Amino acid sequence: MEDELQRLLDAELQAEALVKEAELEREHMIRQALEDARTAEAQFEARLPELRNSFLEKAEERAVQAVAEQARRYEERRAQLTRLGRDREEEAIQAAIRVLTDPDRL
């Protein structure tokens, strides 16, 4: 009976030691996770200027491309309207000549 009690007492002491060890390990893991999170946050914050600059560079590139595309479209439309104006001018001149040379056509 005394051996049985001693064995139970030893088992309880071992269990308490395991619980204490697990609690210490848990606290160590929590501290490590917090430290890792702080490190990751610091690294992210350190990269913010780089990320911002990269974003701004890409936005500027897209803006330059959009302006170039608009300028290209404007130039195409201007050329089209110039050709159309020349065509209409020629038609107007021909009509004026017909009217001047044959006033009865009115």
pLDDT at 105: 63
pLDDT at 106: 57
Number of domains observed in the structure of the chain: 1
Structure tokens at 28: 């160590």
- 29-38, 67-76, 77-86, 90-99 — which is least confidently predicted? 90-99
Q: Can you give the residue range of the structural domain that contains 14?
A: 2-105
Place of tokens 């040379």: 101
Burial state string for 58-88 with b = 16 or more CB within 10 A and e = fewer than 16: eeeeeeeeeeeeeeeeeeeeeeeeeeeeeee
Side-chain-side CA neighbours of residue 19 (13 Å): 6
